[in-house]
């Protein structure tokens, strides 16, 4: 293989895929990236056997071929070269040479035939939507995923499809985040899949807040996403996600309408006295007023009052302040709606107008 390209033509696709390369691997081949050079383009692929990323770039190839190169080393070399520099890459035997001006680097290759790829997987149905819409849905749900929970099916994001609708749901057992969007969903029947945490975080890194179209395809054990010249493939978590519909409260006797940013700011200020051991904050409700109170183990206290639209009587309930801040931060409208039944029940947080997103938070004993 031999090719010549501008530094950016090689660096940009490599930066798109390098997130799939783990620094510590039991298989040496997984620390490498696969380079497939055809007559008019180069495709770079990285994988950790759970997530695979491929990026394609157009450039002039003198001699087509396939090789694998150490991902981090190649990335460091390209970053260190001058901008707009011309880079020549060629291989001979089990080594490859990178040349640029007076610089020359020799890297050890591994056989391209040994590189594991997810090329010929069966997928069905197309889900088409704006990159910005998908990114927004992930941003407003992913924080509720569990981390290293023994209930492995919670360590990911539920993607549910029905004809014309896509839903994302995440929960760690203490809170739940739900988003729904009407989209071009070409599926014959409802389906649920669970995308693992690493795949979700890679999607957040790849997706832009733009109107460009992204296409999702679902397989039996994998999900694939195509945008521009990048292809993302991830294994799915094999498990059954809890029935999230049962968790979302349907009727509540106490409804609070509040300025979203004013409430979020008050909670953030009150939470200043809290630490890692004490994350609980008390909400004291009375007609037209909410008091937020916090106390830490050193007996330091903070208290704020927020004007609210509420006339459901006196009530006090405790929550993890981080969960409240995350939920309020995921809403878009000026007004937030908080629904309560009693001091022992969960709180439903949503926009005062609109039903696309919902957040459920379980109370905590203070």
- Lookup: tokens for 327: 């939920």
CATH number of 123-245: 3.10.150.10
Say yes or no to pLDDT of 125 above 80.
no
**C-alpha atoms less than 13 angstroms from C-alpha of 357 in its C-beta half-sphere:** 25
Give me the residue label for tokens 């997810």.
Answer: 118
pLDDT in tens, 250-270: 889 999 999 999 999 999 999
The first and second tokens of residue 361, run together, are 């938070």
Instruction: Look at residue 184 in the predicted model and tell me its pLDDT.
Output: 85
pLDDT class for 140, splitting at 50, 70, 90? very high
> Is it the case that residue 106 has pLDDT exceeding 80?
yes
Cα–Cα separations (whole angstroms), residue 89 to 39, 54, 64, 74, 181: 15, 19, 11, 11, 45
* 32/21 Cα distance (integer angstroms): 8
Percent of the chain with pLDDT over 70: 100
Q: 38-78 pLDDT, tens per residue?
A: 989 999 999 999 999 999 999 989 999 999 999 999 999 99
Query: Domain 2-114 sits in which CATH superfamily?
Result: DNA Polymerase III, subunit A, domain 2 (3.10.150.10)
Query: How far apart, in whole angstroms, are the C-alpha atoms of residue 249 and residue 291?
Result: 24
Strand pairing category for 61-63 and 103-108 = unpaired
* Predicted confidence (pLDDT) at residue 179 exceeds the cutoff of 80: yes
Please give the structure tokens belonging to residue 48: 């950790």
**Where do the domains of the chain lie?**
2-114, 123-245, 248-361
Q: According to the model, what pLDDT value does residue 43 have?
A: 97
pLDDT band at 163 (very low <50, low <70, confident <90, very high): confident
Handedness of CA 129, 143, 180, 52 (dihedral sign): positive
- Of the pLDDT bands very low, low, confident and very high (cuts 50, 70, 90), residue 176 is very high
Q: Same CATH topology for 123-245 and 248-361?
A: yes
Say what percent of the chain tops pLDDT 90. Answer: 85
Is pLDDT at 130 greater than 80 in this prediction? yes
Query: Global pTM?
Result: 0.92
Q: Sorting pLDDT into bands at 50, 70 and 90, what band is 159?
A: very high
Amino acid 121: pLDDT = 84
Q: Which fold has domain 248-361?
A: DNA Polymerase III; Chain A, domain 2 (3.10.150)
């Amino acid at each position: 293989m031999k090719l010549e390209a501008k530094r950016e033509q090689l660096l940009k696709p490599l930066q798109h895929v390098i997130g799939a390369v783990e620094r510590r691997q039991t298989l040496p081949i997984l620390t490498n990236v696969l380079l497939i050079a055809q007559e008019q383009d180069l495709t770079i692929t990285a994988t950790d056997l759970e997530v695979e990323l491929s990026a394609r770039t157009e450039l002039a190839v003198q001699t087509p071929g396939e090789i694998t190169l150490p991902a981090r080393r190649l990335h460091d070399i390209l970053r260190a070269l001058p901008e707009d520099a011309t880079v020549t890459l060629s291989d001979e035997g089990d080594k490859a040479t990178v040349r640029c001006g007076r610089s020359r680097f020799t890297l050890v290759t591994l056989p391209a035939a040994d590189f594991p790829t997810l090329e010929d997987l069966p997928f069905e149905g197309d889900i088409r939507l704006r990159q910005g819409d998908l990114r927004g849905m992930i941003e407003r749900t992913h924080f509720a995923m569990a981390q290293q929970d023994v209930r492995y099916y919670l360590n990911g994001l539920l993607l549910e499809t029905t004809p014309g609708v896509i839903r994302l749901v995440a929960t760690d057992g203490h809170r739940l985040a739900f988003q729904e969007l009407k989209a071009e969903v070409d599926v014959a029947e409802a389906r649920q899949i669970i995308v693992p945490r690493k795949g979700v975080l890679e999607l957040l890194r790849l997706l832009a807040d733009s109107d460009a179209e992204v296409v999702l395809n679902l397989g039996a054990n994998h999900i694939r996403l195509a945008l521009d010249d990048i292809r993302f493939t991830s294994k799915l978590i094999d498990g059954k996600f809890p029935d999230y519909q049962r968790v979302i409260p349907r009727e509540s006797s106490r409804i609070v309408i509040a300025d979203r940013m004013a409430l979020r700011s008050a909670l953030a200020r009150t939470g200043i006295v809290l630490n890692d051991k004490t994350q609980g904050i008390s909400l004291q409700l009375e007609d037209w007023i909410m008091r937020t109170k916090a106390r830490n183990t050193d007996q330091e206290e903070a208290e704020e009052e927020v004007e609210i639209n509420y006339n459901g009587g006196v009530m006090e309930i405790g929550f993890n302040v981080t969960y409240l801040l995350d939920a309020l931060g995921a809403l878009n409208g000026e007004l937030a709606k908080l629904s309560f039944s009693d001091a022992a029940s969960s709180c439903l947080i949503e926009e005062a107008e609109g039903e696309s997103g919902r957040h459920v938070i379980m109370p905590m004993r203070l």
